């Protein structure tokens, strides 16, 4: 649709141009129609923003802005706070065992453009807020690393069934499947390969609220 942004500043300028616009306005410029059924259009806002900002990755396992190493995340905002957690990536149910420094969560979160979007009202009338380019602070990184190491250790021990969303202060594991029948490979406690429900890493809404707070 559009060329990829050629610098952080270029990307930020494009994002700023969207600030205050409604999704209906953006869709019209892109010659797209706004979905009639929000229930069946869960990823539409993120995809619209990708197109509007010149993201390139599509659904390939790459950063949205490959040349800049930047990931795009839209955040639904209600009453001034993120209403939902943020999906990061799927979890290997046998664990990665590579350490925080080399894990997929850290790579995903190295540099993120957060774009707040109103979470209430009709899709057409929701407004885009001021975007923010973020990388984890040392404190953020320490919290994320501690949670990830704990969760990955449990996965490697074959204790994935004990993992509930309550674990993790800022990073959690939750179901991530097409439906209740989806399965993936996992280890059990005796180290045997079994099928289990897929899980994904998510950032808690309380964490994204804190990292977006400097927006105020």
Site for DNA, rule CB under 7 A: 38-43, 45-47, 49-50, 57-61, 64, 71-76, 79, 84-87, 89-90, 108, 117, 119, 164-166, 172, 174-180, 182-185, 195, 197-198, 200, 202, 204-206
Distance CA 215, CA 153 (A): 35
**Nearest residue (CB) to DNA, 79 versus 138:** 79
Q: Is 116 helix (H, G, I), strand (E, B) or coil?
A: strand
- CB of 175 vs DNA, minimal distance in Å: 4
Residue 128 near residue 18 (C-beta atoms within 8 A) = yes
As measured in angstroms, the least distance from the Cβ of 192 to DNA is 17
CA–CA distances in Å: residue 65 to residues 50, 79, 125, 135: 9, 30, 27, 15
Beta carbon of residue 6, minimum distance to DNA (angstroms, whole number): 19
Instruction: Between 80 and 138, name the residue whose CB sits nearer to DNA.
Output: 80
Pair of tokens at residue 1? 């649709």
Shortest distance, position 190 Cβ to DNA, whole Å: 21
Which two tokens mark 25? Answer: 């306005």
Q: Please, which residue, 101 or 178, has the CB nearer to DNA? A: 178
66 close to 4: Cβ distance less than 8 angstroms: yes
Phi, psi of 58 (to 5 degrees): 60, -135
- Closer residue to DNA in complex, CB, 14/174: 174
Q: For residue 114, list its beta bridge partners.
A: 73, 132
Q: How far is the CB of 68 from DNA (least distance, A)?
A: 13
Nearer to DNA by Cβ, of 107 and 136: the residue is 107
Residue with smaller CB distance to DNA, 60 or 138:
60
DSSP 1-28: --PPPSSHHHHHHHHHHHTT-BHHHHHH
Contact 96, 103 (CB under 8 A): yes
Minimum distance from residue 56 beta carbon to DNA (Å): 10
């Amino acid at each position: 649709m559009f060329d990829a942004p050629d610098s952080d500043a270029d990307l930020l300028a494009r994002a700023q141009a969207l600030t205050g616009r409604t999704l209906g306005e953006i869709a019209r410029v892109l010659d797209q129609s706004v979905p009639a059924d929000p229930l069946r259009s869960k990823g539409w806002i993120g995809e619209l923003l990708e197109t509007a900002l010149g993201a390139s990755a599509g659904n390939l396992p790459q950063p949205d802005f490959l040349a800049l190493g930047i990931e795009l995340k839209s955040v639904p905002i209600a009453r001034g706070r993120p209403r939902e957690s943020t999906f990061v990536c799927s979890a290997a149910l046998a664990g990665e065992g590579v350490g925080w420094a080399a894990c997929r969560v850290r790579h995903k979160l190295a540099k993120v453009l957060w774009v707040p979007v109103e979470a209430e009202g009709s899709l057409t009338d929701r407004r885009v807020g001021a975007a923010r380019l973020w990388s984890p602070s040392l404190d953020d990184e320490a919290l994320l690393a501690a949670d990830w190491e704990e969760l990955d250790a449990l996965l490697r021990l074959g204790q994935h069934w004990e993992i509930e969303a309550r674990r993790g202060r800022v990073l959690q594991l939750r179901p991530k499947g097409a439906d209740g029948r989806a399965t993936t490979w996992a280890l059990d406690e005796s180290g045997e390969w079994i099928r289990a429900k897929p899980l994904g890493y998510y950032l808690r809404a309380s964490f994204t609220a804190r990292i977006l707070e400097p927006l105020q």
